[in-house]
Structure 1
């Protein structure tokens, strides 16, 4: 092999190493972003209608959940701890130390009727167990689906531990004609 052939082979190996480094770095960055910053979520089921529908595609951000910065009204994704290892998507109604009461088909937050403009006007919120009053413990939140007649939420599951929250919805990207941000 002549000198020029060795030089070309050497350049090729250097460029291949550089390319592999860039690809590996990009994959690590993508994995870190997916694990700690943003993730895609597909809505499965009707529990958040009419805000979200089955097959909607959202992006959730994870930084605020890592910092326990969840607030009332956020739409969050959490580990349901069920046998199927399902993640649920619900709306935060109460945060630590809030008092929630379900009466007369309405939700009361700290003794005040909760204004819920995101619900369909005919929505009635009934307790799903004998429990009608809840106090949200430290490190937890109380969540409800927007479709109150078809939602497994804190009325059944009880308070949700903040450690089980995967992220909160920031944008719906599909269907394209219903693009919406949630912050």
Structure 2
């Protein structure tokens, strides 16, 4: 093989790597579910594709997003930087957006005074925690500040979310969960074939 061919191969590989990095940074990214906080919608071992560009992109050295096509809406499942440790990514469902008033009363969620119908929510503990114990089942009312989101896990009794650590900043949202491309059941050491290709909603 001549040095010219070797150089061409190196250039091709370099371009492919740059394209892959660009796609991961700004277009779409893979994400694995590590915990049960989003059961039954998302299971431990689900592998997702997350669309990043829909909520805008963060160019290097800029603290503001550009090319914003849409903002997170109530009901969207989003990946974001965990406010207490920005090096970690969390995934939760948007319950309230800026300007909304959100409240939890005895495991029921109200936004702007209206109880949400939540077929996706799961409650595994019949005991209702009083506000004096913690904010799991009773919290608020809270007004969502400008540029913020209030998020909850679908597995309400087993989720560490906005009830405990507060709001998510819009600039820290990385993308919207789109589709399950692979799912592995580690307890039974087998793939969950029926989940592959499932649109997340």
TM surpasses 0.5: yes
| TM-score, normalised relative to structure 1 | 0.84
Partner of 1:78: 80
Residue of structure 2 in register with 1:55 after alignment: 45
Distance of 2:117 and 2:150 partners within structure 1: 16
Are residues 72 and 84 of structure 1, via their aligned partners in 2, closer, same or farther at CA, if it must alter by over 3 Å? closer
Structure 2 residue 199 is matched with structure 1 residue 181: yes
The answer to whether residue 163 in structure 2 is matched with residue 155 in structure 1 is yes
Equivalent in 20, 31, 35 of residue 30 of structure 1: 20
Q: How many residues align?
A: 173
What does residue 92 of structure 2 align with?
A: 90
Higher helix share: 1
Structure 1: state its 5+ residue gaps.
Answer: 1-8
SS in 1 for 2:24: helix
Distance change in 2, residues 1:121/1:83 (3 Å): closer
The corresponding residue for 2:189 is none
Following superposition, the deviation at residue 121 of structure 1 comes to 7.4
For residues 122 and 39 of structure 2, what CA distance do their matches in structure 1 show? 9
Q: In structure 1, what is the Cα distance between the partners aligned to 2:44 and 2:200?
A: 17
Is the CA contact 1:61–1:170 (under 8 Å) kept in the aligned structure 2? yes
Match of 1:6 in 2: none
Q: Which has the larger radius of gyration?
A: 1
**Normalising by structure 2, what TM-score?**
0.77
- 1:122 deviation in Å? 7.0
Report the alpha carbon displacement of residue 18 of structure 1 after superposing the two structures with TM: 2.1
Aligned to 1:138: 146
Deviations 1:2-45 (A, max 9, x none): xxxxxxx7xx3332222222111110000000011111111111
Q: Could you tell me which residue of structure 1 aligns to residue 175 of structure 2?
A: 167
Superposed displacement of residue 104, structure 1: 3.1
Indicate if the aligned counterparts of 1:57 and 1:174 stay in contact, CA closer than 8 A. Answer: yes
Aligned to 1:108: 110
2: distance between equivalents of 1:155 and 1:37?
Answer: 30
Does the alignment pair 1:16 with 2:24? no
